[in-house]
């Protein structure tokens, strides 16, 4: 046995030992009984009741009511928290995102522009890439995330040639903010065997140098699929670091159920393990990616129980029907407002042709799966609804809850159609803040942009919906999602689509009980009602009292199953907490 094999064996032994020890460590247990009194408690129940107090036994809610009512349940062993007027509400549920992607910039370069980051031009982008290359061992991949061509001064993507100048000793990949495209240098393209003779894959485009078939480095949609295997293969040590940081970040903003959309079997198993080890303290819902699980979904090999545990739910199967509006790959029924590369007829393209989409949706629906389908452009939404209508007619299901992820440019007639088909949208409402000005001026034009993420149409049709941040596309900020759904104000300070605004309580339901309902978890979370998990968050103030200031509220405590997973000790006076024999309980 050579030295490398000896070292490898030692590493495996150390990892196995750590895992074994961690498995023997009992996870934190909630107090046997705790109550929260003198608060502003938003229950998010069917009547949107607001009460003063909550009683929790173990990990479950026992009762809600007035402070006087809940005080009657207190014993000498009860832990009592005086909220002192603060708001207690259900923890936030991430309806769609890519946990733990928010922490990828810990090990990769961050290329985000304002308002998220600070990269304003191509020089800033290249400087960040060079810095990342300098600290990366020769031959290893240099990965950067979050550049936005429409926010850079040059108004364009980086090029293969520019990335080649950064380093010829590393494969380099710069991911677009949308996640639907990337730019690679020559070494990276060679690693995935893309050259002048490589044809565009179905549902994707390989960018070419002008007047040539030679790739310019830009890979859109399915053209970057193989590349992603290299980008996200970060190893065990970095995976641990990423997941631990992401979990802490989510807890700090009040997320009690995280979501990872489009996972592979390996990622699903990894997240399940980290939950068992207590490294991920919140609940997680996973959307298995249809292309990653492939034939196992239909031949009986896929078994959700392989991954699931008390904190992890294998949710709907995810498909991707089109791309990104801000990447010009969303599939529209009418051309983009500002023509793409001067083509006034260009309206994007589907990631899955309609015939294949119908076949896949029908087969998965017949097999009994709930589906979650990404569709941004209205033509893509139409294709999904057509496919699902065919599937439902052939194999009727009373309550299918197909989740139409983003539904960004869904038309009014499509919202009405969703209601009849049992489809529920999850809107990326914060698009109005991060991209609203550009959707109005570049991608959609004023008329269509005003109706993006049409929550009011959904509400008017009594269509339940959720909202999400699509993290890491944007930071995990649940109150930003709520704020944007209520106000629809852009970074430029303009209201985009006043008629699509909804009230604060309805917007809060979209990140709590309605998000739970979408994934069939409404009976155990999403509202503060007896018998449900005590997944809760304490806020520094009420999001209903001053809706314009709601996104500035601080999360003071986050609870999962009655256990504190986050506490902010710097947000103001301490919560008055103690056993019942203190004056607090008298």
Q: How far apart are CA 109 and CA 120, in angstroms?
A: 15
pLDDT band for 574, please (50, 70, 90 cuts): low
Closest of 62, 106, 82, 435 to residue 247, by C-alpha: 106
- Say what the pLDDT of residue 351 is: 95
End-to-end CA distance of the chain: 71
Tell me if 477 sits within 8 A of 551, measured CB to CB: yes
d(CA 343, CA 7): 58
The CA distance from 126 to 490, in Å, is 28
Separation CA 145–CA 104 (nearest Å):
8
pLDDT, one tens digit per residue, over 252-304 is 999 999 999 999 998 999 999 999 999 999 999 999 999 999 999 999 999 99
480-510 per-position pLDDT tens digit: 999 999 999 999 999 999 999 999 999 999 9
What are the residue boundaries of the structural domains of the chain, listed by start? Answer: 33-91+538-585, 108-231, 235-525
Of residues 214 and 24, the one with the higher pLDDT is 214
Q: Which residues contact 119 (CB under 8 A, 6 or more apart)?
A: 110, 111, 112, 113, 125, 128, 147, 152
- CA separation, residue 81 to residues 72, 415, 574 (Å): 15, 44, 10
For the stretch 247-257, pLDDT in tens is 999 999 999 99
| pLDDT tens digits along 24-83 | 556 789 999 999 999 999 999 999 999 999 999 999 999 999 999 999 999 999 999 999
Q: In 304-340, which positions are buried (b, 16+ CB within 10 angstroms) versus exposed (e)? A: eeebeeebbbbbbbbbbbbbbbbbbbbbbeeebbeee
**Tokens, residue 517:** 């309902």
Q: How does residue 236 score in pLDDT terms, banded at 50, 70 and 90? A: confident
Per-residue confidence (pLDDT) for residue 577, from 0 to 100: 67
Give the pLDDT confidence score for residue 15 in this predicted structure.
53
Which tokens belong to 111? 């290329």
Confidence of residue 582 (pLDDT cuts 50, 70, 90): very low
CATH of domain 33-91+538-585: 2.30.40.10
Are the C-beta atoms of residues 171 and 142 closer than 8 Å to each other?
Answer: yes
State the pLDDT at residue 237: 79
Confidence of residue 244 (pLDDT cuts 50, 70, 90): very high
Residue 23, pLDDT above cutoff 70: no
- Indicate the range of 230-234, 344-348, 401-405, 495-499 predicted with least confidence: 230-234
Contact of 248 with 254, CB cutoff 8 Å? no
Indicate whether 306 pLDDT > 90: no
pLDDT band at residue 534 using 50, 70 and 90 as cut-offs: very high
Asked if 189 and 213 touch (Cβ cutoff 8 Å), the reply is no
Mean per-residue pLDDT over the chain, rounded: 92
- Contact present, 535 and 486 (Cβ < 8 Å): no
pLDDT attached to residue 6 = 40
Nearest-angstrom CA–CA distance, 407 and 417: 13
Alpha helices, H only, 253-396: 265-276, 290-293, 354-366, 378-394
In words, the CATH class of domain 108-231 is: alpha beta
Q: Looking at residue 20, what is its pLDDT?
A: 53
The whole-number average pLDDT for the span 124-142 is 93
Pairing verdict, β 555-560 and 536-539: antiparallel
**Secondary element (H or E) of residue 423:** strand 423-427
Distance, CA of 418 to CA of 53 (rounded, Å): 38
pLDDT at 336 over 50: yes
Cα–Cα dist 217/259, whole Å = 31
**Phi and psi dihedrals of 493, rounded to 5?**
90, 10
Q: Given 3.40.50.300, 3.40.1390.10, 3.20.20.140, 3.60.20.10, which CATH number is that of 235-525?
A: 3.20.20.140
d(CA 318, CA 404): 10
Give the predicted TM-score (pTM) of the model.
0.90
Report how far residue 337's alpha carbon sits from residue 88's, in angstroms, rounded to the nearest whole number.
Answer: 44
Cα(329)–Cα(346) distance, rounded to whole angstroms?
10
Please give the distance of CA 125 from its chain centroid, rounded to a whole number. Answer: 25
And the tokens for 539?
A: 């806020």
- Give per-residue pLDDT as tens, 358-367: 999 999 999 9
Structure tokens at 24: 């023997």
Report the distance separating Cα 404 and Cα 381, nearest Å: 8
């Amino acid at each position: 046995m050579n030295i490398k094999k000896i070292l490898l064996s030692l590493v495996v032994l150390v990892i196995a030992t750590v895992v074994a020890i961690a498995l023997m460590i009992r996870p934190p247990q909630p107090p046997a009984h705790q109550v929260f009194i003198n608060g502003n408690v938003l229950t998010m129940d069917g009547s949107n009741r607001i009460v003063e107090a909550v009683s929790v036994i173990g990990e479950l809610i026992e009762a809600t009511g007035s402070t006087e009512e809940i005080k009657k349940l207190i014993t000498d062993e009860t832990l009592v928290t005086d909220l002192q007027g603060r708001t207690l509400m259900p923890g936030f549920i991430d309806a769609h995102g890519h946990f733990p992607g928010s922490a990828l910039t810990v090990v990769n370069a961050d290329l985000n522009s304002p308002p998220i980051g600070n990269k304003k031009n191509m020089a800033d982008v290249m400087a960040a890439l060079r810095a990342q290359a300098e600290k990366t061992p020769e031959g290893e991949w240099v990965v950067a995330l979050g550049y936005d061509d429409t926010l850079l001064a040059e108004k364009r993507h980086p090029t293969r040639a520019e990335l080649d100048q950064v380093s010829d000793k590393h494969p380099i990949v710069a991911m677009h903010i949308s996640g639907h495209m990337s730019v690679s240098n020559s070494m990276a393209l060679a690693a995935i065997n893309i050259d002048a003779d490589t044809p565009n894959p179905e549902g994707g485009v390989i960018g070419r140098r002008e007047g040539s078939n030679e790739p310019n480095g830009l890979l859109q949609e399915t053209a970057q699929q193989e590349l992603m295997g290299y980008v996200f293969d970060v190893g065990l040590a970095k995976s641990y670091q990423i997941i631990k940081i992401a979990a802490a970040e989510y807890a700090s903003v009040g997320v009690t159920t995280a979501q990872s959309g489009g996972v592979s079997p390996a990622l699903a198993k990894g997240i399940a393990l980290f939950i068992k080890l207590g490294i991920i303290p919140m609940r997680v819902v996973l959307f298995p990616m249809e292309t990653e699980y492939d034939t196992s979904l239909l031949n009986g090999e896929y078994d959700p129980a392989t991954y699931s545990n008390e904190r992890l739910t294998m949710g709907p199967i995810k498909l991707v029907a089109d791309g990104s509006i801000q990447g010009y790959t969303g599939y529209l029924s009418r051309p983009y407002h500002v023509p793409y590369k001067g083509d006034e007829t260009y309206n994007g393209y589907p990631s899955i042709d309609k015939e294949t989409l119908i076949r896949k949706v029908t087969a998965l629906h017949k097999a009994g799966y709930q589906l979650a389908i990404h569709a941004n452009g209205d033509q893509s939404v139409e294709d999904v609804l057509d496919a699902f209508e065919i599937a439902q007619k052939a194999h009727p299901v009373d309550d299918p809850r197909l989740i139409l992820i983003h539904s960004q440019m869904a038309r009014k007639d499509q919202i009405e159609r969703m209601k009849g088909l049992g489809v529920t949208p999850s809107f990326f409402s914060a698009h109005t803040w991060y991209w609203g000005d550009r959707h109005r001026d570049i991608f959609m034009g004023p008329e269509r942009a005003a109706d993006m993420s049409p929550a009011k149409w959904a509400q008017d049709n009594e269509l339940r919906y959720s909202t999400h941040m699509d993290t890491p596309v944007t930071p995990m900020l649940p109150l930003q999602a709520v704020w944007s759904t209520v106000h629809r104000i852009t970074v430029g300070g303009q209201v985009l689509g006043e008629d699509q605004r909804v009230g604060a309580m309805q917007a809060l339901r979209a990140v709590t009980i309605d998000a739970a309902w979408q994934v069939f978890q409404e009976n155990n979370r999403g509202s503060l009602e007896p018998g449900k998990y005590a997944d809760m968050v304490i806020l520094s103030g009420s999001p209903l009292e001053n809706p314009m200031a709601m996104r500035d509220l601080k999360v003071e405590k986050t609870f999962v199953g009655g256990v504190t997973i986050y506490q902010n000790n710097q947000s103001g006076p301490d919560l008055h907490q103690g056993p019942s024999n203190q004056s607090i309980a008298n």
